[in-house]
């Protein structure tokens, strides 16, 4: 639009003007669409240095103490009755009756009152275990797909994040996540969920939940590094994924899961 016209037509040609408007509009769209892609290109320079974070939960180790829940709440200012991570308690009787509730994180004792009465095992035998839950940082994440404004995105190092400055708070991602790990934060009115403590891991620290687990049930690390604990665990142990049939490709691996776990 700015280039001076050498021919200097006496009257502005309407058709030409419209065509130019169209070009400018298309150009604008191109810029809008290309900015993130360009940023990606820049970021992927020297891709080998970029870690690939993954998470594993060893359900055979978890003792349901809830230290992780408290650590997460404190570290990330998670409002009361909303959860970036939680620990489920399963009790399975001999006749397959299942009782599930949430291990208390003390700030949120409400959940225990929602629990069903303890399963009565006639023969007194009950299989019981704990399953910590958090965002799975899915590789083909539904939440990234459905966010209408692109506020939810997946970083090059494999973490799904929300830009709280850009999120409009529509809640579509909350509905779309099959694992219910998202919520609309009561205080910020934007989508919120586990970030793997991105502010910590990018400085070489562990996520708060991993750091605080007294038994090492939560394992985190770079799968590109063959010597990392996570690489070793994934090499040596048998694991499964949550709701694999939905095609979300979670990057959170569960060790020792029972079929009753949802």
Binding site for another protein (CB under 8 A): 32, 81-83, 86, 88, 97-98, 100-102, 108, 111, 114-116, 133, 142, 144-151, 166-172, 174-184, 188-190, 246-247, 262
State the nearest-atom distance from the C-beta of 142 to another protein, in Å: 7
Report DSSP state, residue 261: -
The CA dihedral of 56, 57, 60, 66, to the nearest 10 degrees, is 150
Q: What is the CA radius of gyration of the chain?
A: 24
CA–CA gap between residue 9 and residue 141 (Å, rounded): 54
Footprint of ligand SF4 on residues 182-211 (CB under 6 A)? 182, 190-191, 193
Residue 135 near which of ligand SF4, another protein, none (CB within 5-8 Å, type-dependent) = ligand SF4
What is the sign, positive or negative, of the torsion defined by CA atoms of 158, 136, 165, 204?
negative
CA–CA gap between residue 17 and residue 1 (Å, rounded): 9
Structure tokens at 175: 């509905």
CB closer to ligand SF4, 92 vs 223: 223
CA–CA gap between residue 221 and residue 251 (Å, rounded): 11
Residues with Cβ within 8 Å of residue 177, at least 6 apart in sequence:
135, 142, 143, 193
CB closer to ligand SF4, 116 vs 249: 249
* Binding residues for ligand SF4, total number by CB under 6 A: 29
State the nearest-atom distance from the C-beta of 172 to another protein, in Å: 5
State the nearest-atom distance from the C-beta of 242 to another protein, in Å: 11
Residue 255 near which of ligand SF4, another protein, none (CB within 5-8 Å, type-dependent) = none
Site string for ligand SF4, 147-166 (x = CB under 6 A): x-x-xx-------x-x----
- What backbone torsions phi and psi does residue 128 show, to the nearest 5 degrees? -135, 140
Residue 138 near which of another protein, ligand SF4, none (CB within 5-8 Å, type-dependent) = ligand SF4
Residue 97 near which of another protein, ligand SF4, none (CB within 5-8 Å, type-dependent) = another protein
Cα of first residue to Cα of last residue in the chain, in angstroms, is: 58
Residues with Cβ within 8 Å of residue 60, at least 6 apart in sequence:
129, 255, 256
* Residues of the shown chain interacting with ligand SF4 in the complex, contacts defined by CB under 6 A: 135-138, 141-143, 146-147, 149, 151-152, 160, 162, 167-173, 177, 179, 181-182, 190-191, 193, 248
């Amino acid at each position: 639009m700015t280039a001076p016209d050498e021919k200097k037509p006496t009257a502005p040609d309407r058709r030409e003007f419209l065509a130019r408007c169209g070009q400018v509009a298309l150009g604008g769209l191109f810029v809008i669409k290309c900015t993130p892609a360009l940023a990606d290109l820049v970021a992927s320079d020297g891709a080998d240095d970029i870690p690939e974070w993954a998470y594993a939960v060893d359900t055979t180790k978890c003792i349901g103490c809830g230290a992780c829940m408290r650590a997460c709440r404190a570290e990330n200012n998670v409002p009361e009755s909303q959860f970036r991570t939680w620990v489920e308690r399963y009790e399975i009787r001999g006749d397959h009756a299942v009782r599930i509730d949430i291990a208390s994180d003390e700030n949120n004792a409400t959940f225990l009152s929602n629990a069903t009465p303890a399963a009565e095992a006639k023969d007194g035998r009950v299989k019981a275990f704990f399953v910590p839950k958090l965002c799975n940082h899915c590789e083909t994440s539904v939440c990234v797909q459905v966010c209408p404004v692109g506020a939810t995105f997946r970083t090059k190092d494999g973490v799904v994040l929300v830009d709280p400055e850009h999120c409009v708070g529509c809640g579509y991602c909350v509905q779309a996540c099959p694992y219910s790990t998202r919520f609309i934060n009561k205080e910020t009115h934007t989508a919120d969920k586990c970030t793997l403590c991105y502010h910590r891991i990018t400085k070489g620290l562990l996520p708060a939940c991993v750091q605080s687990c007294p038994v090492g049930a939560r394992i985190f690390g770079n799968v590109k590094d063959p010597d990392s604990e996570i690489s070793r665990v994934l090499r040596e142990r048998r694991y499964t994924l949550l709701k694999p049939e939905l095609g979300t490709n979670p990057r959170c691996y569960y060790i020792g899961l029972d079929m009753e776990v949802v």
